[in-house]
Amino acid sequence: MNRESAIRSNHLNYLISELNLRFLKDNNVIISNLRKIIPKYYFKYDTLDEEILYTAQKYEADLPSSIEVLRGELCLWKELWKTKSEKADTPKEAYKSAYMFPNIECLLKILCIIPVTTATSERSFSSLKRIKTYLRSTMNQSRLNGLAMLNINKHIKITTEEVLDIFSTKHNRKLQLDI
């Protein structure tokens, strides 16, 4: 095998390993099992506590107490939501009611922050490629961060007056900037 095909093979192996890491089969199971803590789905699918406990073992180091305590919390969680007519249907809504259940609260927090896709972060990196061109390669980190935030958050409208007000208060000049 020549040098060029060996390099190509290494790149291909790297790409395959990255795809396997990004799309682990366990991630779908983890998300679907954590989703079962949400009261709307807890009662909708006859959720078994064992499915939730299996997933919680992956986050056992993050939980405030043991899996056995979580087992007890799940029984109380079920009793709490049995009596309510309106069941929370998002992790954020369920989180508001989980203040008495520290392990469930922690798992709901994890469910809220697990990214479903990587599209947002990839979009940010694509923006960064457009911002940091050859001509702008010498800019400092704070300016690059500012330009990246402006590019990513295009929906936020910024007026020239706002920019001038901030600039005039931050930098003392001999000439007074009047608007």
pTM of the predicted structure, to 2 decimals: 0.54
Domain boundaries defined on the chain: 3-170
Instruction: Rank 52-66, 108-122, 146-160, 163-177 by mean pLDDT and report only the highest.
Output: 52-66
Q: Is the pLDDT of residue 92 over 60?
A: yes
The per-residue pLDDT for range 10-26, each reduced to its tens digit, is 777 776 776 666 555 56
Pick 39 or 128 by higher pLDDT.
39
Residue 161 clears pLDDT 80, i.e. is over it: yes
- What average pLDDT does this structure show over 162-174? 76
Per-residue pLDDT, 68? 92
24-32, Cβ contacts within 8 angstroms, sequence gap of 24 or more:
26/58, 29/55, 30/55, 30/58, 30/114, 31/111, 31/114, 31/116
Complete DSSP assignment for 90-134: SHHHHHHT-TT-HHHHHHHHHHHHS-S-SHHHHHHHHHHHHHS-S
Distance of CA 30 to the CA centre of its chain: 15
d(CA 43, CA 166): 53
Report which of residues 153 and 175 the model is more confident about.
153
Distance CA 45, CA 34 (A): 13
When the pLDDT of each residue in the chain is averaged and rounded to a whole number, the result is 78
